[in-house]
Amino acid sequence: MADFNLEDFVNILNNKEVFQYLIDKKVIKEKKFLETYEYEKELHELQIELTAIQNKVIADNIRVLVIFEGRDAAGKGGAIERLVEYLNPKKLRVVSLPKPTAEESTQWYFQRYFKQLPNAGEIVFFDRSWYNRAVVEPVFGFCTPEQHTLFLKQVNEVEELLIQDGVIVIKFFLSISKEEQAKRLEERRTDVLKQWKIGPLDQQAQEKWSDYTSYIKTLFKTTGTKLSPWIEIETDNKKKARLEAFKIIINQIANQKREKTEDFVKIHN
């Protein structure tokens, strides 16, 4: 097969007759192509905006903590990956802590997370956070009811102290329909390139759907406050969800606003 490079592809796109022929022969699906083009174009523009925002964070010694929670397969990792793709790696961290060590299990619950808080001029993304104790841990019996209750009692005060000290805290919860979750989990099971994404807890996400739902409702009701609200984004359409996360982060850091622009976004406060 002859080499096919980017210039050849650009020439095809600029040749209306060839492009139309490829559409007619269903080599290129017009609707999907246009949707992907519009998404990549807007994504690139937002990535440029976010790099400018990071420059402001660095210059003004701002501390930013972005928390990503959500159901399994809702797209937390993918969203974070796009967000950090072109940011200065020296001034950001993505934190995804493993289960506590024996020593950490004897400490105050928040202690190991405090070590990961942003320094001046830094953005830190939590890929799951202390909110494990609000949903995942009680669903699977990894904490006692008393520990769960104590966490809900303390977390709002903890976040209030952080915000009073100048930390910008942004909390995302990525939701997904049960049907879409089942589809994505099956893709992970059957695609050898995605099998690393599925762990033993993910495999129980469907059967424990109702348990998750109950604890998520309590999460929003108890820990969504005016000062530190939950921004819930429905992610059945992952691309639209990612773009909305960009816009909210940019708005909140630049203007201290949590404006939402889409119906698939809810704010719990």
Mean pLDDT of the region 68-74 = 96
Structure tokens at 232: 């819930």
Residue 251 has pLDDT above 90, yes or no: yes
Where does the pLDDT of residue 1 fall: very low under 50, low under 70, confident under 90, or very high at 90 and above?
Answer: very low
Domain ranges within the chain, ordered by starting residue: 27-268
Tens digits of residue pLDDT in 141-188: 999 999 999 999 999 999 999 999 999 999 999 999 999 999 999 998
Provide the pLDDT for residue 245.
Answer: 97
Taking the alpha carbons of 173, 177, 180, 182 in that order, is the dihedral positive or negative? positive
Tens digits of residue pLDDT in 12-60: 667 667 666 666 666 556 567 778 889 999 999 999 999 999 999 999 9
CA distances from 85 to 36, 103, 151, 171 (A): 18, 34, 33, 20
Residue identified by tokens 């989990």 is 185
Average pLDDT for the chain: 91
Separation CA 124–CA 119 (nearest Å): 9
CATH 3.40.50.300 for domain 27-268, yes or no, is yes
Provide the pLDDT for residue 202.
Answer: 81
Provide the pLDDT for residue 4.
Answer: 54
Provide the CA 114 distance to its chain's centre, in angstroms: 20
